[in-house]
Amino acid sequence: MVIVMSPTSSEADIDAIADAVIEAGCEPSVSRGVSRTIIGLVGDVGRLTTSDLRAMAGVADVVTVATSYKLVSRDHHLERSTVWVGGVPIGPGSTTLIAGPCAVETHEQTLRAAEMAKAAGAALLRGGAYKPRTSPYAFQGLGEAGLRILADVREQTGLPIVTEVVDPADVDLVASYADMLQVGTRNMQNFALLQAVGGVGKPVMLKRGMNATIEEWLMAAEYIAQRGNLDIVLCERGIRTFETATRNTLDISAVPTVQRLSHLPVIVDPSHSGGRRDLVLPLACAATAIGADGLIIDIHPHPAQALCDGAQALTGDDIRELARIMAFFPPLAGRARAHPPTPGTTSLQGTLLLVGAGRGAPA
């Protein structure tokens, strides 16, 4: 059982509920997020009734769930969620393209990649300032200098930023620049990092671990939600199998499976799953057709000179083909194509344009 407190609840309200839970023989687990407090109940909850708990001061909702990932499950939230990132929606009814360079190298390279991403239909800009790499000798990113470049490019293009954070100590710094924090595959079960991003008050993209089951992925999301942050987007980026013809194996079935189990949006990374430029667009088509809520794709103006993952980065004619896919496929699936935010929008509103129908986002 989970008790969700109102944003206006007081410490006295929380203490009163904790006392009632203890008196009933259960143990309360209080998690204080930026915008809300959640109280999880451990023990025999049969002695507590949801009606009595809902009647207590400061309680917004009481949820009884059977799954171990209580907060991110459809049991907790029957309708699928939309996460807003700098005025851009990610969720049911829309298809959101996130694109840009795998790694920020220079201002010129990042700006050019952002312009290419926007031409392809991207609503959000991806770019790595911190890069966890398998080899200690590979390019590890520019750090804060890369974050400053991303912020400058956002100012020039209007594209909100999605960027990775790899260390709990850097969460506040990265959050001061980014519109969305990304937790990569190697850190999916870095529980200290998950808790840190859950408490910072920014939307989070959680990539599936390369060896993770769907349940482990959802349990990792639960760590973030348990800190009061339900603005989580799940990203299927391919898993490690015995197959060697591709970099990873894209588990396309994970999209509808997770959408059945969880209310969180699910996007797909065709770049890191295929690992080759010629596979990215076919996998993007497949992900869109199966109902993914978005795509995250690597783009680079000069892939041959890229310091990170150049073999999978789109460029040239690929960009025009990606633009065609983004214009053609979402309407066929009954979805809107998410567009960059209009000036003055916030994280609670954005612009949705359904190609051929002109449907707007809710005010």
> 262 forms bridges with which residues in the sheet?
73
Q: The pTM is what? A: 0.83
Lowest-confidence segment of 68-77, 98-107, 174-183 by average pLDDT:
68-77
Q: At what angle do helices 107-119 and 317-332 cross, to 10 degrees?
A: 40
Instruction: Provide the pLDDT for residue 352.
Output: 40
From the centroid of its chain, how far is CA 122?
Answer: 15
CA-based diameter of the chain, in Å? 67
Please tell me the distance from the alpha carbon of residue 155 to that of residue 175, in angstroms, as a whole number.
16
CA angle 311, 317, 322 (to 5 degrees): 85
Asked whether the beta carbons of 246 and 273 are under 8 A apart, the reply is yes
pLDDT at 18 over 50: yes
Specify the DSSP element, H or E, that contains 2: strand 2-5
Pairing of strands 180-183, 204-207: parallel
- H-helix segments, the chain: 11-23, 50-54, 107-119, 144-157, 171-177, 191-198, 214-225, 254-261, 270-274, 277-290, 317-332
Q: Which domains does the chain have, with CATH numbers?
A: 2-63 (3.30.70.1140), 83-353 (3.20.20.70)
Strand, helix or coil for residue 182: strand
Pairing of strands 59-63, 2-5: antiparallel
Asked whether the beta carbons of 348 and 84 are under 8 A apart, the reply is yes
pLDDT tens readout for residues 290-340: 999 999 999 999 999 999 889 999 999 999 999 999 999 999 888 999 999
Confidence of residue 41 (pLDDT cuts 50, 70, 90): confident
Phi, psi torsion values for 232, nearest 5 degrees: -120, 135
